Amino acid sequence: MPTVLTMFGMRVVIYSNDHRPAHVHVIGGGCEAVFALNCLQGPPILRENYGCSHGGLLKIQRALVADLVELCAAWRDIHGDY
């Protein structure tokens, strides 16, 4: 499970045995959220939330938007396609 980015003390993970469409798991601080990346047009969209606050999710989503190109490239490196 490669950590492709860290933000706010959380890990942004792309599992090597995961499924399409392109998405990331953001894990840390007692919560986990899954965002569909919508490569390359964006924006990342919340798909699942396990304990993250609404404010925390908005903060994470803004950070994912800023790193969308990098995250989509990491997904492609691991999975070969979006």
Is the CB of residue 43 less than 8 Å from the CB of residue 61?
yes
Tell me the residue range of the domain where 52 lies.
3-79
Count of structural domains, the chain: 1
pTM: 0.95
Tens of pLDDT, residues 11-57:
999 999 999 999 999 999 999 999 999 998 999 999 999 999 999 99
CA 67 to chain centroid: 10
